[in-house]
A and B are shown apart, each in its own frame.
Chain A
Amino acid sequence: MSNSPSDPALAPELVEGPGTDPLRPSDHADGTREITQPQLGFVGWLRWGWRQLTSMRTALVLLLLLAIAAIPGSIFPQRTADPNGVIDFQTKNPDLYPVLNGMQLFDVYSSAWFSAIYILLFISLIGCVLPRTKHHFKALKARPPRTPARLSRLDDHAETLRPVAEGTDAGASAAHIVDVAQAQLRKAGYRVERYDTAAVGGRPAVASVSAERGYARETGNLVFHAALVGVLISVGVGGGLTYTGQTVIVEGDSFVNSLGLGYTSFNPGRFVDSEALPPYSLTLDSFDVSYVPVGESGQGMAGDFSANLTTREPGQDAKEQSVRVNHPLDMAGDRIYLMGNGYAPTITVRNPDGDVVFREDVEFLPQDANMTSQGVVKITDGLSDQLGLVGFFYPTAMTLHSGALTSAYPALVSPLLTFWVYAGDLGIADGTARNVYALDPSEMTLLAGSTSDVAALQLEPGQTVDLPNDMGTITFEDNTANGGAETVKRYVSLSIHRDVGAPFVLAFAVIALLGLLAALFVPRRRLWVKAVPADAGVRIEYAGLARGEDPAIAVAVADLQRGLETALDGEKA
């Protein structure tokens, strides 16, 4: 079993060992020797199970299983990546959904079966890497192995006969040749060891050097696998300390980093203290965007998004910074990402007496590339009835042949706002949480727009129109009148992340890549040079043995021979 390089057996790697041996280099081809199993007790079975789990074959099967198990996550929508897709799937396939949901096919990467595969894989990996590390540690301290008796039996070998000058001692000459070879090998980065044998009986004295290089191959292999464990731990631990939150800021408004104040949604990891978020605030001064002009290819395409913020941290001066796509803002350890943008028309509603009962920047959600947007206004108090308005906003309004309105361009060329008006019960009196972007009209009466006889309300910036049934008036404020740059305010949606694990994941991934490079490309090989006094001089034998994948072993032996002979010829001259 033992296959340590210090093994006195000659060229032990020529003897194939059992396949479950974890001490082999990764690219070692296993032999086919049969193992006869003894009777196993409980501990024996445990050990057998452990051997099976940590065997290369099991690791391979687990790897392939992992590849197959990952695929469903790309076929079915996943809750983490595409929650709306899951809801959509549920609506469209009400019968299939519970079955697939029971199989955790909408949470593949946190499912029991996927977790089982990768946890087993990592146990197998650790079980394989630990003993190999121990073995490699020993190998690093060991001397290169004894020179095999018959170098000519190795695949890559060469032999030359070198005449010695008259009167020179062939034995001393042989030792000198090996001295030169030893120096060359050492210079080439090999670890070297002399194995000279004195003349015994009829046999002449033999000088030989054994050289080994490429320990970095196994080091790299171990580092790679250990770094993968590091990646997994960083992801796991980091996930517990990570939080992500979303917020929306309208131009001129501020966000305060505190749960309950600023966030529209917040997803903390298991160990996050939501009460102790770093204190800072963000004010959206302006939002820049450019659109490809009409007539050019990609007309209306938006780009160069930039949310220009004033950021404030305790004890520091306010700073003007911007968040752009690909360029998140670092803020007290958080990273702030620009996720979306839209228009937020300022709406004022007055009762018949002219008192303001509602005045807000209402965020409208974009529905298409030309920023046709939809928003909802809910007026709970101050009017004769609760009022629900479903609005459409067209930054560049245009009438289709069908008579329907659409937006032809995303910029504010001819902005138009339309409202359907519902009156009745908004359904918020009982305290149930309601989506601010959606209206449930089931308890309400349609007063204008849609299927009603009354046309939908239409407003341009600065315009005021009457609400149906003399309920009051509604105004679409012109923002330029209040010193704004554009007629309609814009808003941005920001995503705020803290991911303490990410830098560690990156570091381990880079270490893994470096380890992989060493493990795949550093050749591990042994070379031998032996000099034996012969009839007409000294017979020099060269041989090389690749340990693992090494396409250049033959070249290495040829180079060794050429290098040594050039050096010896140089000495002679």
Chain B
Amino acid sequence: MFEPMDDLIERIARHLRRPVQIDPALDGRVMREISALPTPGGATALRKAWGWLRRPHQVTLTPLGGLAAAAVLAIVILLSRMGSTPPAPPLAESRAFQFVLVAPRATHVSLVGDFNDWDATRTPMLRTGREALWTVVVPLMPGRYHYAFFVDGSRWLADPSAPVARDEDYGEPSSVLTVGGGS
């Protein structure tokens, strides 16, 4: 079920509003470039500045301006509280996939792959039945995933029921799972 346009646009905008860090060395490059330039403004600017200093000024806020300022302040508070930004929640619905491994002599098996940042602690599998089936159900978004089973903290096993990952770079077996979208 696709979310309404306003929610999607707001999600995109919120993502794009995240702070961007530009290389601070740019400041030095700008200053070096302007060092060769004449002072902008000159005497006319002096007269304007003197006139400005002598004139009284009053800052007032319209109701709309006040709302805008409050919104900006809320963003400041939110940004100051943010640590590492968690991934945005997925748009499309995920599908549940069950992973199964037969390993009667294993004492601990975990599922590790692209869907859990290859974190061996995140998705432990559960031993079921007397045949020593290890299983876990994982919701997956459409995509293509490399994964493997990590057995007893020391052995990597590919999934015998899945294609082998041919683009294996690390000398340990991995499998591939492709999750299609409905079309």
Q: Do A and B come from one complex?
A: no
